[in-house]
Structure 1
Amino acid sequence: MQTLKKFIRFYKPYKKLFFVDMLCALIASAIDLAFPQILNLLTKDVFTGSSSQIIRSLWIIGIGLILMYIVRYFCQYFITSWGHIMGARMESDMRQELFDHYQKLSFSYYDKNNTGEMMSKLISDLFDITELAHHGPENFFISAIKIIGSFILLAMINVPMTLILLAVTLIMGVFSLFKNRKMRSVFFDNRKKIANVNSRLQDSLSGIRVVQSFANEEIEKDKFCESNLKFLDSKKDSYFIMGSFHAGNSFFQGLLYTVVLVSGGFFIAKGTLRAADLAIYALYIGIFLNPLDVLINFTEAFQKGLSGFRRFLDVVETKPEILDRKGAKPLVNPRGDISYNNVSFRYENDSEVLDNVNISIKAGKTIAFVGPSGGGKTTLCSLLPRFYDVTEGQITIDGKDIRDITLKSLRNCIGIVQQDVYLFAGSIGENIAYGKPDASEQEIIQAAKNANIHDFVMSLEDGYDTYVGERGTRLSGGQKQRIAIARVFLKNPPILILDEATSALDNESERHIQASLEHLAKNRTTIVIAHRLSTIRNADEIIVINQSGIQERGTHDELLNLNGLYSKYYNMQFEGLGD
C-alpha cells in the first residue's frame, strides 16, 4: 500500500485528465451494463405488442442505440488515446526524476553501483509504467462498476443463483491473490536479472578494445551467456506461474458457466425462474466475466510495472551523502586561499586514508603532491570540491568551511584536469563549451588557442564541428587532454586541480601540454598530483605523501638537498630517462 501511495502522487499534475478518463470509463461501463436491461425491457413489453407497433418502435430503438454507441465510441477513443498519453507522461516524469536524482548522488553511490544496472532502472524498469499508470485505475474502476453492477442486476433476477455465483467468485479471488504474491517476487527477480544482463553488456562494450587486444572474446561471451541464461531461468519461472494463474482462472470461469447452467436448470424445474430470465442472466454473466478477464490479463502488466516502480523508488529514496548545509551561502569572488585543517578521511568500511593532515595554500600559489599510489593524493584533491566529505577536521577556502558553501558555487570555482579525460559524444566545439555552456564561438576559439589545440582543430575538415566519437575515441590522448584544458580555460576558475594530467602522454605531447598547463595555472591556486617529477620543479611547495602520511615538504631544491624520499624518486626517474 505504501508503494501504491507513492505511485499515486505522480497523477497529481494530470488530475483533470485522470478524472475525465474515469468519467469516460464510467459512461462506457454504464452503456455495457444497460444493453441486457434494454433487451429485457424490450422482450417483456415492446416485443409483445402488434407487428406494426414493433416496427414503429424499432426506428426509435435503433436510433437510440446508435447514439448510445456513438457516445461510447468517443469515450473509448479518449480512454485509449489520452489515457495512454497520461501514462506516458507519468513515465516520462519518473524517468526525468530518476535522471535528476542520479545527478545529485554522491561519488560513493557510483563507487558501489554499476552503470549498466543504473541504465536498466532508467529505461527498462520504467518501460511498463505507462501501462500500469493508465490501465491500473481504469481497469480497477471499470471492473468494479461492472462486477458490482452485474451482481446487483443478477440478484434482481434470482438471489439464490447470485449467491452461488458469489461463492465461486470469492474462491477465484483467493486463488488470484495467492498467485499474485508469487508473481510479485518473480517479476522483481526478472528486473534484477535483466539489470545484470545490461550491466554485463555495458561493461563488455565499454571495454571492447581491451577485450579484443587480449583476444578474450570467448571469455566475454561466456560471462554474458551466464547472465543471459539466469535471466532466461527467471523468465521461465514467471511464465510457469503465469501459466498456472491464467489456466486456473480459466477453469473458474468455466465453473461459473457450469454453476449458472446447472443452478438455472434447477430453478426453472422448480418454477422459480423463467427460461427467458436465464438467457438475460447468461448475458450478464458475460458482462461479469469480462472485467474479470481484464483484471486477469492485466495482472502481468501490473506486477511488471509495480516491480519496476519499486526499483525506481530504491534509487530516488537514496539520499545523497553530499548536500548543501542548511544556511550554506554561495562563494562570491573567491581569492583561492585553501587550508586543510586536521583533516582525516576514510572510505566506507575501509581503513584510514588520511590522518590529521594540515596543508595551507596561498592564493595564486602552486602546490604539488608526489608519492606512491595509495598514499591519498587523489583523495586530498577529491575532498576539496566535496566529491567526498572529510571524516574529521575541515577544509576552508578564503577562511570559509567548504561545507558552509553551496555545492554549485564551490564546484564552479574549481577546475579539474585529469589523466583520464572524458569527452562527451558530440563535436569538439561542444566539448570545449562544456566549461561554459553559454560561451560564444569566439570564446571557444580563444580557449582552444590557449590550450594549443586551435591549429589542429582548424586542420580538420569539419573544424570545431568534428565529431569526437564515444569518449573521444577519434582523437589521440594528447588531443583529448588539450580539449580538456581548453574546457577549463573557458570555465576560468580561480582554483585548479591537475590530477596526473600528463602522466599517460609521450614526451612530445607532454611538452605541448605542459606549456598549456603552465599558462592555465598562471595566477590561479593550483594543486598538482605529479607522476613525472620534472613537471613540478617550479612548484611553490612540493609535499611527499605515502601510506604513513606527509613525509617531506619544501621546494624542489630543498627536497633534493634533504636527500630523502623525493630525492630518491627524482633520481630513479632521472636514471630511467638516462637508460
Structure 2
Amino acid sequence: MKFVKPYWKQIFITVIIGMLKFGIPLLIPLILKYVIDDIIGAGDMTAAEQLNTLIWLMGIVLAVFLIIRPPVEYFRQYYAQWTGNKILYDIRDQLFSHLQKLSMKFYSSRKSGEIISRVINDVEQTKNFIITGMMNIWLDMFTIIAVIIIMLTMDPWLTLIAVALLPFYAVSIKYFYSRLRDLTRKRSQALAEVQSHLHERLQGMNVIRSFALEEHEQKEFHKQNGNFLNKALDHTRWNAKTFAVVNTLTDIAPVIVIGVAGALVIQDVLTLGTMVAFTAYMDRLYNPLRRLVNSSTTLIQAIASMDRVFELVDEKYDIQDKPGAGPYRHPRGEVIFDNVSFSYENDQEVLKELNFTVKSGETAAIVGMSGGGKSTIMSLIPRFYDVSSGRILVDGKDIREYQVRSLRDRIGMVLQDNIIFSDSVRFNILMGRPEASEEEVIAAAKAANAHDFIMELPDGYDTYIGEQGVKLSGGQKQRVAIARVFLKSPEILIFDEATSALDLESEHLIQQSLFRLAENRTTFIVAHRLSTITHADKILVIENGKLAEIGNHEELIKKQGAYYNLFQVQQLD
C-alpha cells in the first residue's frame, strides 16, 4: 500500500470510469424488456408507431455506445495500465536501491539468477495485484450489486432464487484458494531456480564446452526444468478443480432461474420481457463471479509473488551507517587493525586477533597460503563485511564511525577478476568518477598504460566491449580497471592478486601502472608471486587467519621463518 498510496487519485478515477464502462452494458437487458413488453407487446400501438419508437430508442442507445463508450473504454484501460506500470517502476527502483545497500554476506549466500527472478518476474506479477485487486475486483463487485438491485426492482422473489447459490460459491472459493497460494509460491520458487541455473550456466558456457559437458548439463537442466513442471502441474491440477466446481455452480443458477421464470410466465405471473431481461441479467450477475474466480487466481499468484518480493525488501542491512556517523574528511590513509577477528556467520573464525599498523603512504603486502584469510582482510577495510570483534581504525577513527559511502569513496580496488560492464571503454573508466572530463579519462588511461591499446580498438573509447569485457584480453581488462582507479584518485589502494592471472608482458605493464598509482598512497597488496612485493614497506605473513610474521623483505629473509620458506618454495633469488 506504500507504493499504491501516491497514485490513489488515478486509481479512484480508473474505478469511477470503470463503473461507467461496466454500467452502460447493464442497460441492455432493460432495453430488451422495454422492447418486448412496451413496444412489441403494446396492443394499443400501430405497427408504424412501434417501428418509429424502436428507431428512436435504437438511435439513443447507439449514440451512447458510439459516443460515450469508446473514450470511457480508452481512459479506463490507459489509467489502469499507467498506474500499474508506474507502481512497478517505483518497486523496482526501490528494490535496486535496496540491493545496492545489502552486504556481501547476503550475496555470498544467494544466487544472482534467483534475485533477478524476484526483481523481474515476481515484481511483474504485482502489477496484476494492482490492476485486478485495486480496480477490477471493485468493478465486478459494483456490477454484481447493481445487477441485484435492478433484479430486485423487477421481481424480488425471483432475485432470491437467482442468488441462492452464492453462499455455496463463497464456501468453495474459500476452500480451494486456501491451498492455491502455497502452490503458487512453490511454483514461483521453482521458476526462480530454473532461471538461476540458466544464468549460471550461460556465464560458465566456456567451462561446459571445454570439458564437453553438454550432455551432462542437458540432464542437469532437465532436472531443474522437470521440478518446475511438477510444481506447475500441481498448481494447474488444483486450479482446474477450482474452476470445475465454481463454474458448475455459476452455470446451474441461470438454469434454475429459467425454469422458475418460465413457469411464472406460463401462469401469467411474470411478463415475457421480464423473463428475458432476468435471464440476461443472470449472465451479467455470474460473469463477474466467473471473473472473480479468475481474479482470485490472479491475485493468489500476485500475492505469492509479492511475498517473495517483500521477503527481499525485508532483508536487513548488515552494513549500515551508525547513528551520528560522519563523512570521512581530510583523509590521510593510516590503517590500524586492533585485535580484529572475523567469521562468516556461524562458521569458524577466518581471522584471529590481528594487530598491525600501516602508516599513511606506506605499502603493505599480505602473503600466505591460499585460504589463509588474505582477501578477507581486504574486504574488511571498505566494510564489505564488519569485524566479528576488535576494530579497524582509519586515521585514528573506527571505520564504523564513518559514513560507509564516504569511506568507500576514498578506497580504490584492483582485483584479480575485475568486473567490466557490457558498455563502452569510456563508460567503464568513468565508473571511477562519472563526472570526469574527457581529458581526465584519457589521462587516467595513459597512466594505466591503457591508452595505446584503446586507440587501436575499432571505435576507440566508444568501443563496446561485450558482457564481462569478453572482447578484451585479461591484461587489457586489468588496465581498464586500473584506469578506473586512477580516475577515482583514492587515498587507500587495495590490489588483490591484481597480476596473478596475467602473462609476463601484461604483468610488466600493469606493475608499472600499479607503482605509479601507489605513489604517496596507503597501499595494500595481496600477491601470489613474491617477486612483485619485495619493495613493500611492510610484509604481513598470514597463516590460518593469524599474523605469523611482519617486517620488510630483508628482515623476513634474515629471520628465515614462514616468509623465507614461501620464498624458497617459489625458487626466487
1:291 matched to 2:284: no
2:101 to 85, 92, 104: 104
**Aligned counterparts of 2:432 and 2:426: Cα–Cα separation in 1:** 11
Conserved 8 A contact 2:176-2:242: yes
2:45 to 38, 41, 50: 50
**Aligned counterparts of 2:461 and 2:144: Cα–Cα separation in 1:** 66
**Aligned counterparts of 1:257 and 1:375: Cα–Cα separation in 2:** 76
1:22 to 15, 18, 23: 15
Q: Match of 1:230?
A: 227
Q: Which amino acid aligns with 2:61?
A: L
How many positions carry a matched residue from both structures?
Answer: 569
Conserved 8 A contact 1:32-1:287: no
TM-score normalised by L of structure 2: 0.95
1:311-351 CA-to-partner distances (Å, cap 9, x unmatched) read 11111111221111111111112011111112121110101
- Structural mapping, 1:63-212, within 5 Å: 63-69=59-65, 70-212=67-209
1:392 to 386, 389, 395: 389
5+ unaligned residues in a row in structure 1: which ranges?
1-7
Conserved 8 A contact 2:365-2:524: yes
- Structural mapping, 1:464-475, within 5 Å: 464-475=461-472
**Aligned counterparts of 1:468 and 1:254: Cα–Cα separation in 2:** 61
**Aligned counterparts of 1:191 and 1:167: Cα–Cα separation in 2:** 37
**Aligned counterparts of 2:457 and 2:545: Cα–Cα separation in 1:** 49
- Structural mapping, 1:157-556, within 5 Å: 157-268=154-265, 272-547=269-544, 549-556=546-553
What's the CA shift for 1:548? 5.3
5+ unaligned residues in a row in structure 2: which ranges?
none
Q: Which amino acid aligns with 1:23?
A: I
Q: Match of 1:32?
A: 25
Q: Which moved more, 1:487-496 or 1:360-369?
A: 360-369
Q: Which moved more, 1:552-561 or 1:279-288?
A: 279-288
Conserved 8 A contact 1:84-1:131: no
CA RMSD of aligned residues (A): 1.9
Q: Which moved more, 1:539-548 or 1:485-494?
A: 539-548
What's the CA shift for 1:462? 2.0
**Aligned counterparts of 1:505 and 1:56: Cα–Cα separation in 2:** 93
What's the CA shift for 1:19? 1.4
**Aligned counterparts of 2:125 and 2:95: Cα–Cα separation in 1:** 15
Percent identity, please.
39
Q: Match of 2:6?
A: 13
1:54-83 CA-to-partner distances (Å, cap 9, x unmatched) read 445445423332333232222111112231
Indicate the SS of the match to 1:498: strand
**Aligned counterparts of 2:368 and 2:93: Cα–Cα separation in 1:** 43
**Aligned counterparts of 1:277 and 1:46: Cα–Cα separation in 2:** 13
What's the CA shift for 1:267? 4.2
What's the CA shift for 1:164? 3.0
Conserved 8 A contact 1:200-1:223: no
What's the CA shift for 1:46? 5.7
TM-score normalised by L of structure 1: 0.94
Q: Which moved more, 1:92-101 or 1:526-535?
A: 92-101
Q: Match of 1:5?
A: none
Q: Which amino acid aligns with 1:79?
A: R
**Aligned counterparts of 1:548 and 1:197: Cα–Cα separation in 2:** 37
**Aligned counterparts of 1:269 and 1:461: Cα–Cα separation in 2:** 88
Q: Which amino acid aligns with 1:199?
A: S
Conserved 8 A contact 2:103-2:385: yes
**Aligned counterparts of 1:143 and 1:509: Cα–Cα separation in 2:** 69
1:517-544 CA-to-partner distances (Å, cap 9, x unmatched) read 1111000001111211111111111111
**Aligned counterparts of 2:536 and 2:282: Cα–Cα separation in 1:** 88
What's the CA shift for 1:431? 1.2
What's the CA shift for 1:410? 0.5
**Aligned counterparts of 1:76 and 1:310: Cα–Cα separation in 2:** 32
